[in-house]
Amino acid sequence: MRSWESFIAIGDSFTEGLSDPLPDGTYRGWADRLATMLGAGKPNFRYANLALRGRMLREILDEQLPIALEVKPDLVTLCAGGNDLIVPGSDVDELAETFESGVVTLREAGIDVLIFTGPDPKETPVLRLVRPKVAIYNSNLHAIAERHRTRLVDLWSMSVLADRRAWSDDRLHFSPEGHRRIALRTAEALGLEVTEDWREAWPEASEDTWITLRRQDLEWTRMHLLPWIRRHLRGRSMGDGLTPKRPELSPLANTSRNGSQ
């Protein structure tokens, strides 16, 4: 099994860790959790997380990829394109070609790469409308992983993520438990030994009535979807004015977190 001594995570809010909060108000997320597993027993292990919420694919490749190429870690995880897919009129095949260019650049630099497919939005109101685009994008990502011998975590096939408890109230980001399971699945894809099973069934839960579900949908639209649309129309992003929480490749004990949320 390959042993990695350095790891950089690049991407958007998924990789930044929303909505897996720490006591100080910053976010942990699957990447931080994975770094802890990768660094176990390795005093020289180093980790950076350059991801920022709201970033589009092109921004991630232009802003974050060059940093990873400069320091050349052993492993880079790349998840990008989700925000682009939500935008009306986005070209899925064009996005996939752009994504592949980033993978090729990393692989040519001798860096191991792990990528993620998008989760199935079937159970999310409104976002389920982009389900066909996500499915096509995911098919492209599978092909990219095969062509360039990168590892892939298939979030679409993780049936445990269909449970609403895997998601935060905004239905756009994963809950702490969702992040924990994704970290375990990613560790498994990297060949790490884990003592917990991400497939573990969720505890039984009572089902809401149809009326309650519709009220929740309306509240979600008002609180989360409409603000996202307004930001997009104004050319703004959730990440405007923020900086990466771990901008430099450094030992796990060294943190450089952005306190603004």
75-101 confidence digits (pLDDT tens)? 999 999 999 998 888 999 999 999 999
In three-state secondary structure terms, 31 is helix
What are the Cα distances from residue 49, in Å, to 30, 84, 199? Answer: 11, 21, 26
Q: What is the mean pLDDT of residues 184-190?
A: 98
pLDDT band at residue 260 under the 50/70/90 scheme = very low
- Please check whether residue 55 is in contact with residue 90, taking contact to mean a CB–CB distance below 8 angstroms: no
Main-chain phi, psi angles of 167, to 5 degrees? -120, 155
The tally of CA atoms less than 13 A away on the side-chain side of residue 105 is: 17
- Given a cut of 50, is residue 256 above it in pLDDT? no
Q: What is the mean pLDDT of residues 29-54?
A: 96
In this structure, whether the domain defined by 6-198+244-251 belongs to CATH 3.40.50.150 is answered with no
According to DSSP, the β-strands at 75-79 and 6-11 are parallel
Q: What is the mean pLDDT of residues 212-219?
A: 66
- What type of residue sits at position 106? L
- Please check whether residue 29 is in contact with residue 17, taking contact to mean a CB–CB distance below 8 angstroms: yes
- Please check whether residue 9 is in contact with residue 51, taking contact to mean a CB–CB distance below 8 angstroms: yes
What is the C-alpha to C-alpha distance for residues 147 and 142, in angstroms, rounded to an integer? 9
pTM over 0.75: yes
Q: Domains of the chain: which residue ranges?
A: 6-198+244-251
pLDDT band at residue 3 under the 50/70/90 scheme = confident
Residues linked to residue 167 through DSSP beta bridges, in sequence order: 174
The reported pLDDT for the residue numbered 27 is: 94
- What is the enclosing helix (H) or strand (E) of 17? none
Helices vs strands, H then E, count in the chain: 10, 6
Average pLDDT, the chain: 89
CA dihedral sign, ordered 172, 149, 5, 3? positive
The reported pLDDT for the residue numbered 231 is: 66
Q: What is the mean pLDDT of residues 130-150?
A: 97
Q: What is the mean pLDDT of residues 62-83?
A: 97
The reported pLDDT for the residue numbered 258 is: 37
- Given a cut of 50, is residue 257 above it in pLDDT? no
pLDDT band at residue 245 under the 50/70/90 scheme = very high
End-to-end CA distance of the chain: 38
